Each structure stands twice: as C-alpha cells, then as structure tokens.
Amino acid sequence: MYFISAYHLAASFRLSVALTLASVVSAATFADEPVIHFDLPRTIPAVAAGDDPTLVVCDLRLSSLIASPSVPQIDQWLVLCQPRDRAVQIADYAPRTELASHIDGPIQIKTTAEKSKSLGLSLEGHYGNTANGSIGADSGSKQIESRQFNQIAAVQAVTASGSINRGRGVYFKLRWTSQQVLEGEKSFKLTLRVPKQWRGGLIDVTVRAQSMQRGFAGWDKQVKTLGGAKFVVAAHRSGDSSAAQLANEVADAEHKLRQLSQQHRITGSPQTLSTMLRHVAAKLDLDSPRPSDGWITRLLTGHADPYLDREISRLPMDIRVAALDYHDARDQFASLTGSDDHAQQTLTGEVASGSDLTNDG
C-alpha cells in the first residue's frame, strides 16, 4: 500500500498549475505578436531639389513583411511623417491621392425597345357539295429602338495623402485592392523646406496596418490594428560626410539600445507563480487599458530625459548607459543646425492622432 503525503500532493499541484500557466502565458504572448512587421532605414540622405538650397528631398523606403503563411485581411496602411525640427516644413510629398476602379474601362449600357402591330382577317365558306371558297387579309408592322451609351465606373481612393499639423507633417493612406498589394517595399518622398544652414534632422514616422472588422453580432464595425511601428529617421544633407557620420552614430546608439531592451524583456519574463498569475490576469482582462509603449518609445520620441526619468533610472546599468549614449548622440546630431531638439521636438501625440488632416484633393 502506497501513501502520498500532503506535501507531495501540494508540490504536484503547484507543478501542474505552473505548467498550465506557462502554456497560457506562451499562447498569450504569441497572440500578441503582430501579423505584419515593418522596417525603415535608420539614416537617409536628403538630396537637394534643384538649385534652391532650402529644398531637399528625402526618400523613405518602407518595407513590410507578413509573417503569417495565410494573408490576413489588411484593409489599409496609415503612415504619418513629421520632421522634429519646427523650422522644417513640408513643401511637397509623393505619392499624391490616386483614384482607381476594379472595372477596367467604361461600362457599356445598351437598351432595346420593340413595338409590333398585327391585323388579320379570314373568311371561308361552303356551298353545297360542289363549291367552296376562302378570302384572307393580313397586315403587320414592327419597330425597334436601340440606345447605347458608356457609363463611368465608380472609383475609390487607393492612395490618399495630405498635410497634418498645419503643414508640418504629412500622412499617407494606402488601401489594399486588386491592383495594389500592401506587402513589400513602398516609397514615400518628402520635399522639405529647410533653413539654408540645415545639415540634418530627425523625422518621426508612425505606420499602422489596419483592418475593418465587425463587432459583436455584426452590428457595428471597428478598426483593428494588426501591426504597427514607430521609427526615428536621421536625415542628413547629401554630400555632408560629417553630418552623415553623426547620423550613423545616432542610428548605432538606437540599435544598441533596442537590442539591450529586447534582451531585458526576454530575461525579465515572469518566472514565479505569483508573477505568472498577474501576467495571465493582465492578458485576460479585456477591459483594462492597453499598456503604453514604455520608456524606450518616450526616449526615442524625445519625451524622456534619461538623466531625470524615474523609470529609466530603475533599469539595469548597461541599459541606462545605452540610453545616455543615445541621448547624447541625438543631441549632438540635432545641434548641427543650432536647434535645441527638446524645444523643437514634435509632439508624438499630435502625429499619432492625425489631427488637422487636410486631403490634397
């Protein structure tokens, strides 16, 4: 006869619960993975537009990768771009608004009306067994009317673009159609009006992949974000080698900071039973507000000072050093034109909300 102590029962129960919660946490974390990933170069050259030194063109080449084997329902991209320096304005942009239809060419409509008239008369008689006779008459007319004309097919905006924040930024909205697939590389060109002494600056880029889905019982529709990203691009005047070097230093510092932050998230995953319970509860609480992007987003968008931020001060030493290095490299790059990056910075909330949208028509 075997006896199982209460201690062994409790240990087995804790192990079973831990394994179950681990699988739930893993599934919840996997479900949080975006179905589409975006990428954008960290530095770009700003090429002079003609002979005017105050106009430069920046070519933003945005790439996307759909991780799922089956293509999800992606209805549109929303791309928001805005220079961080308030002395820089948007002079022009491409692509502009484009209209298209799923029908190639005009629609031909043909109507036919037919009218006919007929009149007939027939008489037949017999006289005895020796004679008979008949007489008949027939009259008819037919009229056919045919009309044919072309009708313009209905069109929709496959690409829409316009200004935001009083002309300081620009938005692009791309829709998935039979002629336009939202995967791969797309080019967005910004023509910036800059000061004559401008050598470089930062551009905030926000991109979201959205899908229109029906809500509960199909009564209402809601926009769901399938994936998104926020980028900080260092643009430098083409031919300025020292400005290009400073831009690369900012990009390298950002890459190192993101790497360390990713490693910290992996090693800081919940291990104990209590932390796993809190993690699962947060995942399953659908009514709770979604967590913010965290300290790294605030730092990259210029809304956190690593010397004063309390959340950053609680991070491991190597991450704090990387945050300080990025902050110093960014300030040195922003000083190329003599502008204070903190005073000139763009509010990310304004860019993300897409306020003051003006379609270019």
**Cβ-contact 182, 47 below 8 angstroms:** no
In which band, very low, low, confident or very high, does the pLDDT at 25 lie, cut at 50, 70 and 90? very low
Q: Is residue 25 part of a domain?
A: no
Give the pLDDT score at 259.
Answer: 92
- The yes-or-no verdict on residue 100 having pLDDT over 60 is no
Which residue's entry shows tokens 């697939």? 181
Indicate the burial class of 285 (C-beta count within 10 angstroms; 0-12, 13-18, 19 or more).
Answer: exposed
> How is residue 347 annotated by DSSP?
P
> How is residue 219 annotated by DSSP?
S
- The yes-or-no verdict on residue 342 having pLDDT over 90 is no
Strand partners, 175: 76
- The yes-or-no verdict on residue 165 having pLDDT over 80 is yes
Residues contacting 24, CB < 8 A, separation 6+: 280, 283
The Cα 168–Cα 156 span in angstroms is 27
Across 4-18, 153-167, 180-194, 319-333, least confident range? 4-18
The Cα 204–Cα 83 span in angstroms is 6
- pLDDT, tens only, 1-12: 444 555 555 555
CB atoms near residue 55 (< 10 Å): 17
In which band, very low, low, confident or very high, does the pLDDT at 328 lie, cut at 50, 70 and 90? very high
Q: Is residue 4 part of a domain?
A: no
- The yes-or-no verdict on residue 318 having pLDDT over 90 is yes
Across 54-58, 75-79, 207-211, 276-280, least confident range? 276-280
Q: Is residue 112 part of a domain?
A: no
Give the pLDDT score at 98.
Answer: 75
Model-level pTM? 0.67
- The yes-or-no verdict on residue 94 having pLDDT over 60 is yes
Percentage of the chain modeled with pLDDT above 90: 38
Give the pLDDT score at 126.
Answer: 61
Give the pLDDT score at 338.
Answer: 58
Of 35 and 158, more confident: 35
The Cα 178–Cα 174 span in angstroms is 13
In which band, very low, low, confident or very high, does the pLDDT at 157 lie, cut at 50, 70 and 90? low
Q: What is the mean pLDDT of residues 274-294?
A: 50
Q: Is residue 81 part of a domain?
A: yes
In which band, very low, low, confident or very high, does the pLDDT at 154 lie, cut at 50, 70 and 90? low
Q: Is residue 66 part of a domain?
A: yes
Q: Is residue 43 part of a domain?
A: yes
Give the pLDDT score at 148.
Answer: 67
> Token pair for residue 226?
């399938």
Q: What is the mean pLDDT of residues 154-164?
A: 76
- pLDDT, tens only, 102-134: 555 566 666 666 666 665 555 566 656 655 656
> DSSP assignment of 125-182, as one string?
EEETTTEEEEEEEEEEEEEEEEEEEEEPPP-EEEEEEEEETTTTEEEEEEE--SS---
Q: Is residue 109 part of a domain?
A: no
Of 55 and 28, more confident: 55
| Range of the structural domain that residue 274 is part of | 34-102+154-359
- pLDDT, tens only, 234-260: 999 999 999 999 999 999 999 999 999
The Cα 145–Cα 240 span in angstroms is 74
Q: Is residue 148 part of a domain?
A: no
Which residue's entry shows tokens 């090693």? 267
Number of domains forming the structure of the chain: 1
- pLDDT, tens only, 170-203: 999 988 877 677 888 999 999 999 999 999 999 9
Sign of the torsion angle spanned by Cα atoms 83, 86, 92, 96: positive
The Cα 351–Cα 237 span in angstroms is 24
